[in-house]
Amino acid sequence: MSRILEKYLDHVMVYADRDERDSAEIRAELKDHLLKKTADLESEGLSHEDAVFEAIEDHGRPKTVGYGLRKRRWIDVRTQGTARGFVAIGPRAVGTFAIGGLAVGVFSFGIAAIGVVSFSVVGIALLYCYGMTLAIAPAGLATGTAAVGLMAAGHWPCGLVAVGPHALGPYVQYPHASHMPGQAPYAIAYAYALMHEYLMLWGGRAAPHALHKLIFGIVMAVGSALCWRAFRSDQRRIGYTLLRF
């Protein structure tokens, strides 16, 4: 049996994350399938090494195959790798409620987050996004230092309705001067008023700018250290050939 084939199966099973009994059965099935594929390719005239490589290439990347074999969990908490579940917590998290350095979910919380609703340092969300540094909400409300959305509030907001010191958009509100046209549609005026009150509350409780920078630096440093630790752990556990497949 080719060492590269065994290494490939090792990688797949790490990502599959199944219990010992299931893991043995799944590995045996994958091994049988790959050996048959290799034999078929050899019968077509390929050398053994080329046949093994072609069989692996056709089967797919270990990460993709392994995640496809992983059981869906209600709660998945990890200190390394990617957590996947209804509630997922880890350096990378994918789930309905995702919490991690990089979080992707309906409700996502992390250093970088993508979701329908997200809270992060840098975030993208469909309906509501709070980003300490950057927030993007194409169809909803974005709040953050720099905010881009249908409605946006922050220091540098940009949107159809924008509230902040350096607001940019058709309907904008600066801290001391109103630029809302008197004939604005009711829905926009209502959203505008809500955002205005939110900004006043948010601004009244805001910490000094230097403290924001300090908090941001700490969060980024801790997050970067955790992501690097997880990456190095994966390399030691799985091997550098992981990048090849």
Looking at beta carbons, which pairs linking 53-57 to residues 24 or more positions away fall under 8 Å?
A: 53/4, 55/5, 56/4, 56/5, 56/8, 56/245
Domain identity same for 214 and 102 = yes
Domain identity same for 37 and 149 = no
pTM confidence score: 0.56
Domain identity same for 24 and 107 = no
pLDDT number for residue 235:
55
pLDDT number for residue 57:
86
Closest CA to 89 of 72, 67, 104, 71: 104
241 within 8 A of 7, measured Cβ to Cβ: yes
Domain identity same for 127 and 106 = yes
Q: Is residue 241 part of a domain?
A: no
Domain identity same for 42 and 100 = no
Domain identity same for 79 and 32 = no
Q: What is the DSSP letter of 22?
A: H
Q: Is residue 205 part of a domain?
A: yes
Domain identity same for 89 and 210 = yes
pLDDT number for residue 97:
93
Domain count along the chain? 2
Domain identity same for 63 and 132 = no
For residue 80, report the phi and psi dihedrals to the nearest 5 degrees: -150, 160
Per-residue pLDDT in tens (0 to 9) along the chain, 245 residues? 578 888 888 888 877 777 777 888 888 888 888 888 888 888 888 888 888 888 888 888 887 787 777 776 678 887 777 788 888 888 889 889 999 889 999 999 999 999 999 999 899 999 999 988 899 999 999 988 899 999 898 888 899 888 888 888 888 876 554 445 444 454 455 455 555 555 554 555 444 555 555 555 665 666 666 666 666 665 555 443 333 22
Domain identity same for 67 and 80 = no
pLDDT number for residue 185:
52
* CA distance linking residue 30 with residue 127, whole number of Å: 42
Domain that holds residue 64: 3-71
Distances (CA, A) of 111 to 13, 187, 209: 29, 33, 19
Q: Is residue 237 part of a domain?
A: no
Domain identity same for 82 and 119 = yes
Based on the number of CB atoms within 10 Å of its own CB, is 225 exposed (0-12), middle (13-18) or buried (19 or more)? exposed
Domain identity same for 166 and 204 = yes
Domain identity same for 93 and 202 = yes
Q: Is residue 235 part of a domain?
A: no
Q: Is residue 178 part of a domain?
A: yes
Q: Is residue 83 part of a domain?
A: yes
pLDDT number for residue 149:
92
pLDDT number for residue 216:
57
